[in-house]
Amino acid sequence: MPSSHRAISRQRAICRFKLTLLLPLIALFACVLVPVLLLQLYFSFHQWTVYLGSWWDADYVGFDMFESVFTDPRFGWAVVRSLAFATGSTIGCFVCGFALAYLMAKPFRGHAVYYIIFILPMLTVPVVVSYTAEMMLYRNGPANGVISALTGLDVQVSWLTDPNIALLTVALLEIWNWTPFSFIIMLAGLAAIPKEPIEAAEILGASRWRIFWEVQVPLLRPVIMLALVLRFLEAMAEFPKTWALFQGGPGSATETLPVYIFMTTWQYFEISKGAAMSYVVMMLMIVIVLAAIHLLRREKRSLDAMYASEAVEA
């Protein structure tokens, strides 16, 4: 039958079209990502540093590199630092961003000006953030000066030289830099939640506090998850600010995972150890990311379901 012929050829054409749409992505993966990951795997099983001749005839060493990574206390500490840094800065960004978004959820005079000022920190280049921090945070510098003036105390914090404070300094910079991210998506989230449940709760006489915790927060859960997950992952990968400001110092106070991998590879030239370390970190991150994707998809499905049921009611 001609019509079914047509249908089949149409199906084929659509199939071809879909394939062509996907082709650039597949090509990019095959030409860049796959070779790079294979090279990484090669190096983590073959001992090579730049002093040891050509990389392609390096000695096979089995799991030695991984062993040296897992027995390296500096690596362990880097994991701890990275997790602490990411957790702290994520919570900091989220709390500040959500608080600001909550205060700005309703329009008021000056709203636009505050909005613009609040997103500016996100629009600075990370390297610029660290250099500006360096200009401000020295012991007799303007940061301590302003804090002293505001609190009336004589604040003299050694932000840049005290090993106990250095990681906190980077975390504060990260919070300064990325609070706008949480702020923007929480503000959009607050604007998008339906008004009716809140009005209903108000009519029933619920307090602001209860409305916040029992109506708004549950409705915002997908956005909250997103704000926390994305920020955490990006904070785990934070390199430019930490490196430009501290290069892992003072001592090893700011040696987070990215910094330690960078030092191992590009300062000690232990390419193989760096590769093995990278694989370990990549696996760790893939586990975290898969968990994150699972969470985000669950939230997105519940959101889709909620909007679908709303559409049916309307």
Partner 1 sequence: MTKSQRRRIASVVRYAVLSLWALVAFFPIYWMISTSFKPDNQWFSWPPVYFPDPPTLSNYLNVWLGAGQYDVTQYAISSQKPLVSLWNSTVIATTSTFLAVLFGAVLAYGVSRYRILSEVRMFQLLMLRMIPPIVVVAPLSLYYSALGLLDSRTGLILVYFLTTLPYAVWMTKSFIDEVPREIEQAAEILGASRWRTVFEIVLPLIRSGLVATFLFILILTWSEYLLALIITKTQVTTLPIELSKYQGTTEGRVYGRQAALAVGITVPLMIVGLIIRKHLARGFSFGMVRR
Of 60-68, 87-95, 156-164, 239-247, the segment contacting partner 1 by CB under 8 A is 239-247
**Rule CB under 8 A: is residue 266 a binding residue for partner 1?**
yes
In this chain, which of 5, 73, 107, 120 binds partner 1, going by CB under 8 A?
Answer: 120
CA distance 88 to 172: 9
Min dist CB 1 to partner 1, Å, is 22
Total of residues contacting partner 1 (CB under 8 A) = 98
In this chain, which of 12, 18, 210, 298 binds partner 1, going by CB under 8 A?
Answer: 18
**Rule CB under 8 A: is residue 49 a binding residue for partner 1?**
no
User: Which position has the token pair 């002293």?
Assistant: 148
User: Which position has the token pair 């659509």?
Assistant: 14
- CA dist list (Å): 243 to 160, 239, 249, 268: 13, 6, 9, 16
Helix ranges, the chain (H): 2-28, 34-45, 64-70, 73-103, 111-119, 126-137, 142-151, 163-192, 196-203, 208-211, 217-236, 240-246, 257-266, 271-313
Q: Return the residues of window 129-168 that contact partner 1 according to CB under 8 A.
A: 129, 131-133, 135-136, 138, 140-142, 145-146
Q: Return the residues of window 169-198 that contact partner 1 according to CB under 8 A.
A: 176, 179-181, 184-185, 187-189, 192
Q: Which helix (H) or strand (E) holds 60?
A: strand 59-60
Q: Return the residues of window 243-262 that contact partner 1 according to CB under 8 A.
A: 244, 257-258, 261-262
Q: How far is CA 235 from the centre of its chain?
A: 4
Q: What are phi and psi of 58, to 5 degrees?
A: -75, 155
**Cβ nearer to partner 1, comparing 43 with 75:** 43
In this chain, which of 5, 73, 107, 108 binds partner 1, going by CB under 8 A?
Answer: 108
In this chain, which of 25, 153, 203, 204 binds partner 1, going by CB under 8 A?
Answer: 25
**Cβ nearer to partner 1, comparing 212 with 239:** 239
Q: Return the residues of window 61-90 that contact partner 1 according to CB under 8 A.
A: none
CA distance 220 to 245: 36
